[in-house]
Structure 1
Amino acid sequence: MKKITFLFLFVISSMCVEAQSYVGFLTDNYSGVNSVISNPANITDSRFKTDINLAGASVFGGNDYYGVNIFDAFKDNYDFDLDAKKSPTTDNNAAVNIDVMGPAFMFNLNNKSSLAVFTRARSMVNVNEINGETIDDLDNDTTGDFSVNEGDFNMFAHAWAEAGITYARVLFNEGEHFLKGGLTAKFLQGGGTAYAYGKDVQINYLENDPNFGGNGSIDAQGQVTYGRFAEFDNDNYDYELPDAIGFGGDLGFVYEWRPNHADYTTTNADGESFTPKDKNKYKLKIGLSITDVGSIKYKEGFVDTYAIPDNFGAVNEQDFDDAEDINQFLEDTYASFLTSSSNGMTITLPTALHFNADWSFTSKLYANLNTDFSLVAKGKENASRISNIVSLTPRFESKWFSFYVPLSMVENNGFQAGAGLRAGLLYIGSGSVITALAGDNSKGADVYAGLKIPIYQSSPKDKDGDGIIDKLDGCPNESGPMENNGCPWLDRDVDGIMDNLDACPDKKGPKENNGCPWGDKDGDTVLDNVDACPDEAGPIENSGCPWKDSDKDGVLDKDDKCVDVPGTVANNGCPEVTEEIQKTLNAYAKTILFDSGKSTIKLVSNGILNEIVTILGKYPNAKFAIEGHTDSVGSDALNQKLSEERASAVMTYLIEKGVASSRLTSAGFGESKPIATNTTKAGQAQNRRVEINLVK
């Protein structure tokens, strides 16, 4: 019966467990090189300088037929067939998956790309569409006779090893949007495979068949396809790797939304920026990947298909027991019903699509939604297949410790709750431990554990404590301000003014000129600090300003005795009194009228005097002598006095009208300087006069 048990019950006859590899652990940002198995993009821009996995193993699987209480299952008197809870249907399923992560390491090639190399050994068993109701009847059959109306079924087992290399790179990093991608290439070595597919299969078994002397008999019908690698049916042999190699690949992308990206970036005064690698920066991270694209070709494999008719009849169970293996029994018994036979077979990898969304509540609290969806159809020939799963995993995460509680819905198993942790070098957990321990009808369980050597990205250092990280600090060992790239201000020209305040840090200069030496912009040898006209050349005597010619008469003000009145060079810049002007003055002066015998000027002469004031005003530096004269009538003494008083009266009037007194003198000459005869009235009138003459 052992070969029948292999064909129909080798999975369901014992408790199986089911989940996906390393449930919970792979959601951790510190899962390191292990994360390549779910998404190759994970290894770049990671929290690691390098990460070395020493060894890790994940064993998991499940079924939808048997359910057990974990505590009861360890009791000595526990009967699996009688005490386990059964859920028989016409379509029961089971799966087993062993995933061993061997030596692996990852490292960063540069700031944007990383590389990983890993080894991995895997084994998967899938059993689909087994008639659980028949199995239940078989368990309860007290006579030993049974009928198996199996219908269609398939069983598949495969073991293989992988050696992979992963390259990942940052594809886009602009502000709050970040994208990275990764690609894994894998060399595959098959370790062994076997599968069986049945269509419309029925088996009737009689424990004591009189036609065979009381031995048991087997009456089978239906179509059976049996495939295996060359050494599968040998019970005793020295195992050698079969001639079975292949290639596979994984492809993945990760997008991160970083709304607070600016908080993680430091920029120095030169515009150089640095974003540390030791912290997660996202609020939301979304990953999408496709894994295990590829196949393994077994050159030494055999696939046989038998179509056994319903009228063939029973065969002796002893013949079945005496056969060396199933293949020999099939060949010896049903050779005439062999419909096809082929050598060599290609086994497809368990291709799957993975979607992952990770939300950051704080820098240490996260919630992860993960979906693993098989792209291999259930029951597909020559193919391994993962079980579909959706997990929600809240977790606490830090550099040296993480803890997670995955809550999952697993194909064929239903709801599972587990727990896991990462502590330093150790990672351990289970995607179903809580469900298994708390429930009495657990149909799935898993466990994983491993050791690694993590070398984390270090936090940016600031040795001098000036608030500027060493990578951007021009003087990492000396404290200095941000605007000088972390360097203390110097005084290169040693002028007592620090370079940050010194407009001319390489030339000495006074504080009043912002540390710059005084210049001489106009080149007149008068330094700008004492140059009253720094933009116009001028002599030292005029404070660096050019001499002016205010009245534009060609005589510079320094030489011009009449600065505001145009004059001649010959007269030192003052206007010259010409003979015509002199004649005009005397003509006006001779018409000044006085009261008879007195020095009082008649009002009628004020207009004449004002004209004289105007003329004198045009020659501000000219000096004039005012002379008084009389006729000969009267005594000499009286005439002398009268002439002096009249000259003085005219001078007084002119001074009162604004003519400087320093420019005027007055004198009387009596009757001593006649200009006409005194013997006539007309001559006497001409002699009574006032003259205004230029003093040369």
Structure 2
Amino acid sequence: MKKTLPLFLTLFSLSMAAQDHFSGIKNSNGVGILSSTVNPAELSNLSSKYDVNVFSLSINASNNKVGFNDIINSDNIEDLIFQGDKPVNMRIDAEIYGPGFAMKLNKWAFGISTKAYAKLNLVDIDPTLGKSINDGTLGSVIGTSLISNNYNQRLNGTSWGELGLSVSRNLFENETHKFNAGATLKLLFPGSYTNFGADKFQGKIDNVLNEAYLNDTNASLNIAYSGNLTGGFTDFGDYSKSLFGNLNGLAADFGVNYQLKDKDNYRLNAGLAVKNIGGMTFKDSGNSSTNYALNIPTGTVINPGLNLNDFQNVESLQDAETLLLNSGYLTKNESKSEIKVKLPTLFSAYIDLKIVPKFFVSVYTQQKLNSDAANDQITTQNIVSLTPRFSLKNYEIYSSWAKNEISGTTGGFGFRIYGFYLGSSSIVTALTSDTKQADVYLGYRLRLR
């Protein structure tokens, strides 16, 4: 387990990432396939008859403990992550858009898109427990530390591919108003999955001869793994090699859109959508998903409990599971070979308002409808963003500012030149303050009349 956290930190420092993918460009009035992923009803607002997505990439990460300046100035970031009493939350994920195509046909619009996802998350990790496992023999515990949590601590990794089939229809339009509705059916291709959940953890950590021992402990554990992540979850190559598996899942998006029109396009564009309704099933010969009861008795001189130093060389959840089983402290409650997981269902809403010709301001929010605590749930986070934008036909510049559930406030900058766009929703705050989030995205599209 000791190798896990440095990986998170390395990815954080190299990728400079956030959680609001394609912030700024996705609400552009030059509507394309990317806009339809926010709301499928936007397909009816295509700015050209045909739209082709060539390639898009967004790499994201955020946390609630380590700031940008900490990465630059600190030699021991692990200590900063586990400082204080607040549970540790960290999200690292990537979205990759492959070839896509959309077209308008009278009152109808149709689209097809390809995507791949990779996510690696820490959810509500107790800082004392995390530091003890990470340090092991470093005397991280002085005397005795009590841990009492009524939530589920999770370490989760997922990769999957997606083929989206979208349709939108213009329901009503006159010189002033326009109403659209749309839907997207997503065919899901699960790649790899891993999850470690420790629910309602109650325990005690003692320092015995400068080593951390866990005893007097009770918790409900879920240990699950599938595909390339069976042998390890800290190597990015394990995710990139398994972005697309076999078809084994369905999901759907539904949205509505309204425009208050003017002679140049619109004065106001607004939409509502519910996205990612559905899930997928991981099937693999090496699959395992097991629920356990962890019960470690009160430590004694002869048997002080579970030595957390034993986890120093653990490289996979399968290794951790074997270690815990060999300790005799686990009782199996339920085991299955198929792993069913839910996509992060969310509600999104936005308004794009023309202030003066060529200058717009967008407000966007996404709110998750399911809890990240469930072991079968892929995670997301709540976001509210504000983006002022100067927009011409072939050029755009914008600055996106957001309030994120995990990392707080971020501000960034981006631009579009013809079909190429590049941006970050946190580069401004990364350079001017100690932000706990950063991101970068880029892409290229073609608009064909």
TM-score, normalising length from structure 2? 0.84
Structure 2: distance between partners of 1:228 and 1:328: 13
Out of 446, 454, 467, the residue aligned to residue 439 of structure 2 is 446
Displacement of 1:232: 2.9
Q: 1:311 aligns with which of 291, 297, 303?
A: 297
Asked whether the 8 Å contact 1:154–1:195 carries over to 2, the reply is: yes
What is the aligned-residue identity percentage? Answer: 24
Q: CA RMSD in A?
A: 3.3
Report Cα offsets for 1:464-490 as digits up to 9, x if no partner. xxxxxxxxxxxxxxxxxxxxxxxxxxx
Asked if 1:37 is matched to 2:61, the reply is: no
> Do 2:194 and 2:230's aligned partners in 1 also have CA atoms closer than 8 Å?
no
The residue that corresponds to 1:193 in the other structure is: 193
| One-letter code aligned to 1:165 | L
Q: Is the 8 A contact 2:6 2:78 kept in 1?
A: no
Residues 33 and 318 of structure 1: CA distance in aligned 2, closer, same or farther (over 3 Å): closer
Distance 1:244 1:229, change over 3 A: farther
Larger-gyration structure (1/2): 1
Query: Using a 3 Å threshold, how does the CA distance of structure 1 residues 228 and 137 change in structure 2: closer, same or farther?
Result: closer
Per the alignment, in what secondary structure is the counterpart of residue 403 of structure 1?
Answer: strand
The answer to whether the aligner puts 1:101 opposite 2:101 as a matched pair is: no
Partner-residue secondary structure (3-state), 1:357: strand
Q: Number of residue pairs matched?
A: 423
Paired position in structure 1 for 2:147: 149
More strand by share: 2
Specify the alignment match of 1:226 in structure 2.
Answer: 223
Structure 2: tracts of 5 or more residues without a match = none
Moved more, 371-380 or 392-401: 371-380
2:288 counterpart (274, 299, 302): 302
Query: Could you tell me how far apart the structure 1 residues matched to 2:146 and 2:246 are?
Result: 37
Tell me, in whole angstroms, the C-alpha distance in 2 between the residues paired with 1:23 and 1:91: 27
Partner of 1:22: 22
Q: Over residues 415-465 of structure 1, what are the superposed CA-to-partner deviations in whole Å (9 max), with x where a residue is unaligned?
A: 1111111111311101111011111x210111101122222x5xxxxxxxx
* Alignment partners' CA distance in 2, 1:137 and 1:234: 24
- Say if 2:351 is the partner of 1:357: yes
Point out where structure 1 has 5 or more consecutive residues left out of the alignment.
210-214, 265-278, 458-696
Once the two structures are superposed, the pairs formed by residues 552-563 of structure 1 within 5 Å of their partners are none
Answer whether contact 1:164 1:186 (CA < 8 A) is retained: yes
Structure possessing the higher relative contact order (Cα contacts under 8 Å, 6 or more residues apart): 2
> Structure 1 residues 141 and 339, CA, compared in 2 at 3 Å: closer, same or farther?
closer
Q: Does 1:401 align with 2:395?
A: yes
Other-structure match for 2:272: 288
Secondary structure of the corresponding residue to residue 98 of structure 2: strand
Q: Secondary structure at the match of 2:124?
A: strand
- Shift in Å at residue 233 of structure 1? 2.9
| Letter matched to residue 429 of structure 2 | T
Structure 1 counterpart of 2:50: 50
Cα distance in 2 for partners of 1:115, 1:443 equals 39
Contact 2:65 2:80 in 1 (8 A): no
Q: Structure 1 residues 183, 333: closer, same or farther in 2, change over 3 A?
A: same
Give, in whole Å, the separation in 2 of the partners of 1:159 and 1:102: 15
**Structure 2 vs 1, CA of residues 334 and 37 (structure 1 numbering), >3 Å: closer, same or farther?**
farther
CA contact (8 A) 2:215 2:297 kept: no
The match for 2:107 is 112
| Map of 2:117 onto structure 1 | 122
> Which structure 2 residues correspond to residues 36-435 of structure 1 after superposition, within 5 A?
36-69=36-69, 73-74=71-72, 78-81=74-77, 88-108=84-104, 110-132=105-127, 143-146=138-141, 149=147, 151=149, 152=151, 153-198=153-198, 199-202=200-203, 204=205, 219=215, 221-223=217-219, 224-229=221-226, 231-234=228-231, 245-258=248-261, 260=262, 264=263, 279-280=264-265, 282-300=266-284, 301-311=287-297, 313=303, 314-315=305-306, 325-334=319-328, 337-435=331-429
After superposition, give the CA deviation of every residue in 1:618-673 in whole Å (9 maximum; x if it has no partner).
xxxxxxxxxxxxxxxxxxxxxxxxxxxxxxxxxxxxxxxxxxxxxxxxxxxxxxxx
CA deviation after TM superposition for structure 1 residue 141, in Å = 9.8
Shift of the alpha carbon at 1:354?
Answer: 0.8
Report if aligned partners of 2:159, 2:192 keep a CA contact under 8 Å in 1: yes
* TM-score (normalizing by structure 1): 0.55
Pair 1:336–1:379, CA change in 2 (3 A): closer
Q: Contact 1:97/1:122 (CA < 8 Å) preserved in 2?
A: yes
Q: What SS does the corresponding residue of 2:372 show, helix, strand or coil?
A: coil
